[in-house]
Chains A and B, each alone.
Chain A
């Protein structure tokens, strides 16, 4: 593995907000595609989603990760739990601690989740889906949701712990569990043709997302970290408007192809971000203010579903492969020890000078992954900074977070 990186130190400061010699935009701030992406993100609100449910459409909480194509093939919109802490998360956390008596030491994510579900229990979305291999805090808070009147369905736990271990049995068990999800949602077994279409669409989107991420390596300033994270987040739900999402991706690729034709001379520090940014874009902005650019993202899977096997098998293999790559986080039961392979791969690919390893305070998975990766990359000579955060978008970054990130990126610049 190489830990050397290109030190970009151009003098072309004027280009930061202007056009290049060939007329292509060097930053996407004025790009129509970036604006449309931001508008899509803004439009994807809880109120809008609940509106779909009020109109009689099938909408569920959860099921928005590896299982999302299956849920959509059941004419159902899966809504990520992350929507629950986008707003009013402090109030929701307080409800969890006081009403549900969740002890204070547990993470803000699960408390915001259950608190907000409680506050919205009379709303139109009444069903919840979760995966049994997720962490116990999530699994346990959803028991409280059941007592609030939600119809909670569990895909029973199935985990691939080691490469090559017992895959056929796991796949067979999970396929059966996925059939039960379809029965729960529609009363019928999985429509495999519909599922195949969903997987093909998803794969097409992922090819475009990967292309965007690759082009960013050459044009790191065109698409900043916040819209890039929106591209990644949107790849699970398409903001509820798949045609628009695809159009935005196409336009971003076109813009980036132009922007990347001009060699980037400005100074920046390539970074790999391992973990999520549950509290919103504030931490990404701090990295950028310190001249860091997140070029490698290790939380969202950018892998494809297999198209050479029956679609339910493809979903099962996708999950088990993701677990073994440490992708998709604790919600998918991902390995704590194997995530580093993906981190390492991205450090090499992006020429990253350092890793920002982020997790929600109180998350056992995040803490142990970070501990293991810290040891591993220390031996490899790749600097890593640990960053804890809450899910509260309402709270500004703490002084400690700002100082840690800035000091780390400055250290990498030396």
Chain B
């Protein structure tokens, strides 16, 4: 390599999100402490959060990445052949984590088979209900069936709380969450500018709010952040722009971002995974039958690779890469994640068609491979800079 990547930290000017993070911390603690309300955990983005809010339960997505110890606790049930996210979900329950332990019930719309198995294990710790999620997202029959499952979900929540879920309240929550999704999408799109005002890590910090904060509180907080970001002075220059695509990057799984942004000065401008922008590229119709609207809206969201046809997910990923004018893609799949491990060739082919260099990484939550990971990422970033890829996609910016 002719040019060495600068090893010193190149932290972009930090957006102060401490207040937002504190809101989330307080909310989590408040959920643990709450005595007079039912608490529900859910696993997958295909769970209509509008219904949880309408039912009046405290809720949170079970989205935390565990430590090696937590993963190991999960392995008591799964052996090694599950992804570390799944093992974390089980592991937190096994370890009596106060946050996980506080839930009265867990819901999981059947996404991948591994998560379904994990839900069956989680039922040993907390009452758990699995619900069907059709795979064929465009099929009218699938939409009708999913609507029925959503109504079942609503009824189950009513039984949990002892109070039927009110249709008008569902409608109101649809409006609130549409607003939240819309703001998050708009904030993400600020990153289409050559030198975005927020980093990938900061964006994911905002996304955490979607999973931990109640809808109204979330919208208020996001509106403040959005206003701040829109008023921020334009930055000059153009950092290396990257996209992360693939398996879930759970809350706390920040190793890649730490290296890419914190140590190498690159900027992750878009994340095509289910803890990234995917849930925010859809809205739910605010007219007509709210359960039909939820079924359609959630099946129309940017799809998980589990959904068919797979081409829809690949096309979405390719579209994001173009829209955000990225210079390269880091395709990362959790070890044993079939959705993104088995299908990786198809995703990589799509990026290669766009002449985008791709770094493919198989990941887990261990600490031991940090050095190796960093070396590979460094080499990738170095190659991108040498190839002058930094400028080749600039014409797409703000397209």
Chain A residues with a Cβ under 8 A of chain B = 100-103, 105-106, 110, 132-137, 139-141, 143-144, 147, 154, 156-159, 161-162, 166, 169-170, 173, 176-177, 330, 333, 335-337, 362-365, 367-368, 370-372
Contact = CB atoms under 8 A, between A and B. Distances in A.
A388 to B, nearest CB: 9
Nearest to A111: B342
B392 interface: no
Given A161-B130, A335-B120, A135 B136 contact: no
B121 A372 contact: yes
B134 interface: yes
Contacts of A132: 134-136, 308
Nearest to A136: B338
Given A140-B343, A177-B141, A157 B338 contact: no
Interface stretch (B77-85, B196-204, B256-264, B381-389): B77-85
A362 B81 contact: yes
Given A136-B306, A159-B110, A364-B78, A103 B341 contact: yes
A157 B81 contact: no
Size range of the interface on B? Answer: 35 or more
B145 interface: yes
Interface stretch (B17-25, B111-119, B209-217): B111-119
A139 B308 CA distance: 10
A173 B345 CA distance: 33
Contact of A154 (B114, B135, B148): B135
B161 to A, nearest CB: 19
6 contacts: A103-B333, A106-B341, A136-B113, A157-B110, A161-B129, A364-B81
Given A103-B362, A137-B342, A139-B306, A158 B132 contact: yes
Contacts, number: 136
Contacts of B82: 364, 367-368
Contacts of A161: 110, 129-131
B160 interface: no
B338 A337 contact: no
Contact of B121 (A170, A362, A368): A368
A134 B131 CA distance: 15
A136 B141 CA distance: 21
Contact of A156 (B136, B339, B345): B136
Given A105-B81, A139-B338, A169-B148, 14 more contacts: A101-B344, A102-B342, A103-B344, A136-B306, A139-B135, A140-B305, A140-B310, A147-B346, A157-B135, A158-B132, A158-B145, A177-B141, A364-B113, A371-B78
Given A137-B338, A139-B135, A176 B110 contact: no
Contacts of A158: 132, 134, 145
Contacts of B133: 157
Interface of B: 76-82, 110, 112-114, 116-118, 120-121, 123, 129-136, 139, 141-142, 145, 148, 152, 305-306, 308, 310, 333, 335-336, 338-339, 341-346, 348, 362
B242 to A, nearest CB: 22
Given A101-B345, A143-B346, A364-B113, A135 B338 contact: yes
Contacts of A363: 81
Given A105-B335, A132-B136, A156 B343 contact: no
A159 B132 contact: yes
Nearest to B133: A157
Nearest to B137: A156
B272 to A, nearest CB: 17
Contacts of A330: 113
Nearest to B117: A368
A100 B305 CA distance: 16
A258 to B, nearest CB: 45
Contact of B145 (A154, A169, A333): A169
B81 A156 contact: no
B154 to A, nearest CB: 13
Contacts of B141: 156, 173, 176-177
The winner among B81, B112, B142, B335 for most chain A CB atoms within 10 A is: B81
Contacts of B131: 161
Given A105-B81, A158-B132, A372-B77, A364 B117 contact: yes
A159 B118 CA distance: 16
Contacts of B152: 166, 169
The winner among B77, B113, B136, B345 for most chain A CB atoms within 10 A is: B113
Contacts of B305: 140
B117 A336 contact: yes
A101 B333 CA distance: 13
Contacts of A143: 308, 310, 343, 346
Contacts of A371: 76-79
A367 B129 CA distance: 22
Contacts of A105: 81, 335-336, 341
A368 B341 contact: no
Nearest to B123: A337
Q: 8 closest pairs, A vs B, by CB?
A: A140-B342, A136-B338, A367-B79, A161-B130, A135-B113, A137-B338, A132-B135, A101-B345
The winner among B110, B117, B148, B341 for most chain A CB atoms within 10 A is: B117
Contacts of B343: 140, 143
Given A134-B113, A157-B134, A173-B145, A140 B81 contact: no
Contact of B112 (A136, A156, A169): A136
A162 B131 CA distance: 10
Nearest to B148: A169
Nearest to B80: A367
B114 A159 contact: no
A325 B342 CA distance: 29
B17 to A, nearest CB: 35
Given A140-B339, A140-B343, A141-B342, A154 B136 contact: yes
Contacts of A372: 77, 120-121
Contacts of A333: 113
A140 B305 CA distance: 8
B362 to A, nearest CB: 6
A404 B139 CA distance: 49
B89 to A, nearest CB: 13
